[in-house]
A = this chain, B = another copy of it.
Amino acid sequence: MLPYKSLIQVDRSSSVTLYIQVCNMFISLITDGTLQPSDLLPSSRTLADLIGINRNTVKLAYEELISQGWAESIERKGVFVLSSLPILSKKKLPETNKTTDPQEAFLWTNHFKNSAPSKNLQKTVLTIDDGFPDVRLAPIDQLMREYRSISRKFYGKSFLKYGSSKGSEHLRTSICNYLSNTRGLVISPENILITKGSQMGIYLAAQLLLHPSDHIAVGLSNYSSADQTFKHSGANLLRIPIDDNGMDIDYLEDCLAHKKIKAVYIIPHHHCPTTVTMSMERRLKLLKLAKEHRFAIIEDDYDFDFHYDNKPYLPLASIDHNQNVIYIGSVTKTFAPALRIGFMTGPPSFIEAAASLRELIDRQGDTVLEEAFALMFDNGEMDRYFRKSLKIYKQRRDLFCELLKSEFSEEITFKIPEGGLAVWSNFEEKIDLIKMSGEALKKGLFIDDGVFYKNESFSSNGIRMGFASLEEKEMIKAFEILKMIIR
């Protein structure tokens, strides 16, 4: 007989009932090969005496083992490990198990490794981020009040059931109105899919438009997550130069003469990372080319709501008159990054296909949150928030640029951005950004190391410095730390 006294040990303080504990320990003995098929288990009386528990508890445990298909009872002979179970080899020790390369267990491909995975900013204290909103300014409490109130109401509970993969109809309507009021975009809810932030819009568009070895035109410098997403679809990136007026559309035209391009990805307003705005002339020319060559324009306009110096340019989607534009925007990037709400607009049949694909990815969004945002748009709360934060961000931009100029005129060159939440800052060559970032972190400041912005054809010594999430005293403190390091 096996040394059951040491093998089966019960814990009376556990919340798991005793017979289940005994049952589970037998299962472990079977699955690790200690007990083999057809082995006889000790009688309930023997085991009860050995481990000091009630005999009925052992009986219950055996019944559980039998009902779960681990054991069988043979009349007048006792309880046996099920004879038809496959014979299992002895379990490896946990230590050995831990070092097993999982690639040995089953075959899979890890070709998704990002060159520079995104950072978790929830744990950092003082942070110069990539250009994110100040979550302290967002009217979270109003949003949560709506959220909670919806989910408590009788009619609101139905929003907890499965809904449409296109998103809440209410929010789609509210966003139509918002896009019409702010961007002159004339669309109806059938043109809209609610996404989990703009990244999901990019992903869905990439999957629908691009097949292996298709070409997509992107900026020479570009939002790296978009590049990765297009590559994941198997597409080839065609890099187009970016100057002070945005993407060089003449260059693109030359490429089109000898290459079929399926789509062009632009952030016309303001380009990431360099923050330049695409001129109206180029916008119109790009639309003209799209029509002639039948490619799609993926217009990522996450930054539209933050433009300081004059009224922002109309999106290409508002000018488009041939349905060539897929317009992607974000509530997430204007409100709070962890509340994942964005939108994608396009021709209705394209939106239908995107919704079908989205069903496979995560079925749908959080309808209660979508409804809460719809109410925030409807009751003017979002508008008030945009106006209020725009004013604050403009002040922060001005102060940030002033400090940057007065404190780092030797080390950093930059242009004041017309909009957006970050300054594209070029550091003098002798400053090693990776080293700088590491040293700053030791002194309590998170600042990017610039790796995210580099690609196979672009490698300036620059980073985006986000000013929007920093109050004046935080800016000053951050710059003091930075000064200590790079001087």
Contacts and interface: CB of A to CB of B under 8 A. Distances in A.
B338 A64 contact: no
Interface string A327-353: 000000000111110000011111011
A288 B85 contact: no
A97 B321 contact: yes
B284 A184 contact: no
Nearest to A165: B118
Interface in A352-367: 352-353, 355-357, 359-367
Contact of A360 (B158, B225, B322): B225
Interface residues of A, number: 128
Contact of A68 (B92, B140, B310): B310
A339 B321 contact: no
B117 A356 contact: yes
Given A108-B350, A138-B160, A360-B228, A184 B279 contact: no
Nearest to A90: B321
Given A280-B69, A321-B97, A135 B113 contact: no
Interface in A271-290: 279-281, 284-285, 288, 290
Question: Oligomeric state, in number of copies?
Answer: 2
A368 B338 contact: yes
A295 interface: yes
Contacts of A110: 208, 349, 352-353, 356
A6 interface: no
Nearest to A383: B15
Contact of A108 (B113, B132, B296): B296
B284 A88 contact: yes
Contacts of A199: 359-363
Contacts of A238: none
A27 to B, nearest CB: 6
Interface string A177-200: 000010010000000000111011
B197 A112 contact: no
Interface of A: 15-16, 20, 23-24, 27-28, 31-32, 64, 67-70, 82, 84-86, 88, 91-92, 97, 100-110, 112-114, 117-123, 129, 132, 135-136, 138, 140-141, 144-145, 147-148, 151-152, 157-165, 181, 184, 195-197, 199-200, 203, 208-209, 211, 225, 228-229, 232, 262-263, 279-281, 284-285, 288, 290-291, 294-296, 310-311, 313-314, 319, 321-324, 336-340, 346-350, 352-353, 355-357, 359-369
